[in-house]
Amino acid sequence: MAVPKRDAAFNQLAEYARKHSNDDNSITTTFGTPVPEKDSSLTVGYHGPVLLQDWFSLDELAHFSRERIPERVVHARGAGAFGYFEVTHDITKYTAATVFAQIGKKTPVGVRFSQVAGELGYADTVRDIRGFALKFYTEDGIWDITGNNQPVFFVRDFVMFPSLIHVMKRNPKTHIRLDYDMFWDFLTLRPETTHTTMIFFSDRGIPDSFRKQHGYGVNTYAFVNAQGKFNYCKFHWLSNQGIGTLTSAEAQKIAGIDPDFHIRDLYNAIANGNFPSWNFYIQIMTPEQAAKSEFDPFDDTKVWPHGQYPLIPVGKIVLNRNPENYFAEVEQIGFDPAHLIPGIEPSPDRMLQGRLFAYGDTQRHRLGPNHIQLPVNCPFHVHNYDRDGRFAIHNQGGAPNYHPNTFNGPVNDKRAQALTPQIPLQGVANRIDSVNEDNFTQARVLYQRVMKPDEKTRLVQNIVSFLVPTTSALRERAIDLFAHVDESLAQRIRDSLKATAIEQHVNL
Ligand code: HEM
């Protein structure tokens, strides 16, 4: 079959047909036996009832009814690709993680891009934070960085996460997204959201493709080196395609024409051999620096200023393969901040601490207790004492299923033991609300020193477009919030709201 001149995503089926002939291509049942007739059910006469013995048609219908699994409770919409990570600089003085063992070492990676709040069928170009999750298939097992395209996050305590997501999802009564009253009510009551909200409304709130955005681990982790010395660290991966963004007007137009704009772009780039890449960096903070830091280094609403904690180059990530089976490799991939390897540890970052629990928990619900046995989640032989459960595939070849034992079951790993840091901890158990931490200094730096004049103008327009539909009381609270960032920003929002109201005949 001739393949028409269209892009790779449009031509997927035509390419398949070109490569596969129809000879020796019989339909089979799910258990592999040949099927005589696919397109008619087995009936008694033309109008007769269908026979129960028509197991093939019934089996197909039963499988169809079970095709969908629960979508991710957040980050439901996305796309994935595969490739490798290559070490370009030596960081073994910071970590003994084997993935960084020597310059030139390559490790396979899986990546998933997503948007936080939209559902599976949403349009790609809505304003949102984008997820940017990395899975490293290392020789020590799976290491995941479940990151985003922004360096900071809205809230700093994981208990705030369900409420944050509720206000960005559908109103449970009207089933409408976005409910602007819910949105501004929550944001103005929790001022720690301000820094990320500023980025959300900036140009970076709508990337023009998955390829043209940076990635950040956001949370603070720790590294342990071969001598057992630990340091805190952050992860960054910066796009070699540059940064590309869309204005709200461009994004709205594209959403109406091609809701799969970002998915198509990624697929076509990789299919055409235009492999996207990112340079990978770390920031390092010693425990002594952390103890004296003027900001909380474990607060994910804050960045570590690059002047004080410079980016240290480590390697690069290249994506060079589209998924063969989107469902198996992207819908069923499960990233988990608790997937850490020897040499990389969590930090006291409160948000990260909650995330260590949440991902495995949701994946046991979304994918099942043995999701880790799916090849995309773990292509290795695992040695432990877990057995059975729904869809168990590997049963570890008759090894003992209890520990300790004297029948040569798997034993504790000495190297992992040596790399477990000794961290002295002390304190009084308490629930401490962090709402009155410093919530505005870094947002102010972003507005006053980083944003260019035209970016500030679009920031104001974007904020105003979300403020117009809410109540006057919430508008006042939002203006007050932005006044804590910068008085002139608040004034511009107020002025722009008045002008917009006149234009739209809204009674403010
Ligand atoms: C305590 C706060 C958080 C909780 C409870 C939480 C929870 C979740 C859950 C339940 C999922 C769905 C996972 C799945 O079904 O496989 C998810 C996905 C995701 N989260 Fe979070 N999250 C939190 C904070 C964050 C933060 C701070 C970031 C950014 C670094 C982040 C980035 C992501 C990404 C990128 C995904 C999508 C992973 C994928 O592509 O499959 N989350 N989160």
Q: What is the overall mean pLDDT for the chain?
A: 95
Q: What is the pLDDT of residue 481?
A: 98
Q: d(Cα 121, Cα 103) in Å, to the nearest integer?
A: 42
Report whether residue 147 contacts ligand 1, using a CB cutoff of 6 Å: yes
Pick the closest to residue 82 from 323, 267, 335 (CA basis).
323
Name which residue leads in pLDDT, 503 or 60. Answer: 60
Indicate which residue's Cα is closest to atom 14 of ligand 1. 72
Three-state DSSP at 19 gives helix
The structure tokens listed for 177 are 């997204």
Ligand 1 centroid, distance to 156 Cα (angstroms): 14
Report whether residue 354 contacts ligand 1, using a CB cutoff of 6 Å: yes
Average pLDDT over residues 456-460: 98
Least confident stretch, 14-23, 75-84, 257-266? 14-23
The answer to whether residue 506 scores a pLDDT higher than 70 is no
pLDDT, tens digit, for every residue of 222-240? 999 999 999 999 999 999 9
Indicate which residue's Cα is closest to atom 16 of ligand 1. 334
Q: d(Cα 42, Cα 57) in Å, to the nearest integer?
A: 8
pLDDT, tens digit, for every residue of 459-490? 999 999 999 999 999 999 999 999 999 999 99
Pick the closest to residue 401 from 413, 393, 409 (CA basis).
409
How many percent of the chain have pLDDT more than 90?
A: 89
Q: How many CB atoms lie within 10 A of CB 79?
A: 21
Indicate which residue's Cα is closest to atom 23 of ligand 1. 355
Report whether residue 75 contacts ligand 1, using a CB cutoff of 6 Å: yes
359 is in an annotated binding site: yes
Q: What is the pLDDT of residue 1?
A: 67
The answer to whether residue 346 scores a pLDDT higher than 80 is yes
Q: d(Cα 337, Cα 146) in Å, to the nearest integer?
A: 6
Q: What is the pLDDT of residue 381?
A: 84
Amino acid letter for position 49? P
Q: What is the 3-state secondary structure (H, E, C) of 276-345?
A: CEEEEEEEEECHHHHHHCCCCCCCCCCCCCCCCCCCEEEEEEEEEECCCCHHHHHHCCCCCCCCCCCCEE
Ligand 1 centroid, distance to 131 Cα (angstroms): 8
Catalytic residues: 75, 148
Please give the domain boundaries of the chain with CATH numbers for all domains: 1-36+56-67 (no CATH), 77-164+204-377 (2.40.180.10), 441-504 (no CATH)
The answer to whether residue 424 scores a pLDDT higher than 70 is yes
| C-alpha distance across the termini of the chain, in Å | 62
Residue 100 · residue 282 · CB < 8 Å: no
Q: What is the pLDDT of residue 379?
A: 83
pLDDT, tens digit, for every residue of 24-47? 789 988 888 889 999 999 999 999
pLDDT, tens digit, for every residue of 276-289? 999 999 999 999 99
Average pLDDT over residues 118-129: 97
Average pLDDT over residues 164-189: 97
Q: What is the pLDDT of residue 238?
A: 98
Report whether residue 321 contacts ligand 1, using a CB cutoff of 6 Å: no
Pick the closest to residue 81 from 419, 371, 338, 322 (CA basis).
322
Q: d(Cα 78, Cα 323) in Å, to the nearest integer?
A: 13
Average pLDDT over residues 100-115: 98
Q: What is the pLDDT of residue 251?
A: 98
**Token pair 């327009």: residue:** 461
Indicate which residue's Cα is closest to atom 40 of ligand 1. 112
Q: What is the 3-state secondary structure (H, E, C) of 374-416?
A: CCCCCCCCCCCCCCCCCCCCCCHHHCCCCCCCCCCCCCCCHHH
The answer to whether residue 105 scores a pLDDT higher than 90 is yes
Least confident stretch, 124-138, 416-430, 441-455, 477-491? 416-430
